Amino acid sequence: MNCMDLDRINHFVLSKQHLTPDSAGDDIVQIVRDVGGLHATSSTTPYLSLLARCPKFKKEDLDRELYESRTLGRIRCVRKTIYIHTKDMIPIVWKATTSKVAKASKRYMEYRGVSDEVYKEVSKKILTMLSDQEMTASEIKEAVSTEADISSILYYLCDQGLLLRGKPAGGWRDRNHKYCLFSEYFPDVDLEKPSESEAITSLIGQYYTSFGPATENDVVWWTGLGKTEVRYALKNLQDKLLEVPMLGGERSLIVLQLDEASIRDMEPPDKPMVNLLPTLDPYLMGYKERGRYLAEEDSDLVFDRSGNATSVILVDGKVIGVWDYEGGEESFVKLHIFRKIGKEIYDDIYNRAGSLGRFIAGSEVRIRECESMVSLKERTAGCFMSPLKGC
């Protein structure tokens, strides 16, 4: 079987991820489905991930789909992290991951001192109180009048599919969400409809649709599932998959049969493609083996010890630098470019940084270059959210 070229593969994945000029669009729901969901642990990431893929994107576009049309919803799933998924994918990602996610959140609740007896009493009050209304954690705690750790109880109720994280209490950058009954938000969604095995197979099939070609290790990393579960699903999908060797390498990648011809026919772009992606963007978080888009010597500048990706600058799908935003009396988009680049690419990065800054700040921003940065693995937890702090 003919080998596959990494540059063609990268361009193909960029296209599937709506990060090429000809794949950009304005159908938010379709984009969310195509990219395998939007990482939503950080409140701003979904908006910035869509901005990178939708030239005319406005913040209210995502809010409308989440809170009015309700075609999208937040759910904790792969790797026990919060994602925004399409309504039809929610039962699949929930069923495929709930055994691990709910177990982890129950352990956390117990660690926070909530016994089974307290949980039963408080959760019953919460579920009754949230009928036909949404409330924040602080509002719920005050209304229930308990010393129990409300946040951990709410997390467990969400991970059991009983509650859903709804609209933020403040603006788009507010991490303080209101909670509502899942059954009222999505009355026609049956979380128990697929079996766990069916859901895992569907989830991994969706992974290859969004991120393939990729390795088995990539799938294990992205899903947070065990190798036994992943291999069983890959066996169920074997009629749809191919294993293809890499050009000039010792390893091979698994690819959907439907994608093979498209990859081989993929033409390189006429000029360099620049993208500025936020922390935890799907393109960055989709792979365990990151040599496809990141030089090994730059890895500690992009990923922290837990595997969280910071905000990056891409050229033709490869990471060439890091960006950061700093608000205040004067707002900045800060850039750290790893190595020298051509003027055309440099100018494109500056223009995109200015547009990105205006989206975040709602006004003009300044661009500041940072000559150096501290390795994320030498800094404290959460540093990936502000990689150029202090620059």
pLDDT tens column, 44-60: 999 999 999 998 999 99
Token reading at 188: 């026609």
Q: Facing residues of 318 across strands?
A: 315
pLDDT value of residue 264:
86
pLDDT value of residue 247:
73
Whole-model pTM: value is 0.95
Q: Facing residues of 276 across strands?
A: 313
Residues of the chain with pLDDT under 50: none
Question: Looking at 248-356, which runs of residues are DSSP E strands?
Answer: 252-256, 274-277, 312-315, 318-326, 332-337
For residue range 160-218, list pLDDT tens digits in order: 999 999 999 888 988 889 999 999 999 999 999 999 999 999 999 999 999 999 999 99
Where helices occur in the chain by DSSP H, the ranges are: 6-16, 28-34, 45-51, 59-63, 90-111, 116-129, 137-144, 150-159, 182-185, 196-211, 216-223, 227-236, 257-265, 282-285, 299-302, 343-361
